[in-house]
Amino acid sequence: MSPPVLEMKATEFKAKCLAVFKDLEAHRYSKVVITRRGKPIAEMIPPKQEVPDIYGCMKGRAIIPPDFDLTAPILEDIPEAESGERGP
């Protein structure tokens, strides 16, 4: 059995939108229909899949050679901002 469809007026949605979003996220409704003067003006459905966590999403995608030093400086000349020198 699929979750029910919730139909609500636009003014009611405006007052309860955060709670409606939580209910959609929890899949308590299969769809929310927002109406104005009895006519549908918008429909919302829950996301089809979970949003993947961004932390660690690129794990295993880059290969760093074992002899490569990630802490070694890449610039030979220190920029003025870091050295404290002022320009002309």
- Signed CA dihedral, 19, 20, 24, 27: sign only: positive
Q: Which of 55, 30, 56 is nearest to 43 (CA)?
A: 30
Domains of the chain plus CATH, in order, are 1-47 (3.40.1620)
pLDDT band at 60 (very low <50, low <70, confident <90, very high): confident
Whole-model pTM?
Answer: 0.53
- The average pLDDT across 10-17 equals 95
Rounded Cα–Cα distance for residues 84 and 42 (Å): 58
pLDDT band at 12 (very low <50, low <70, confident <90, very high): very high
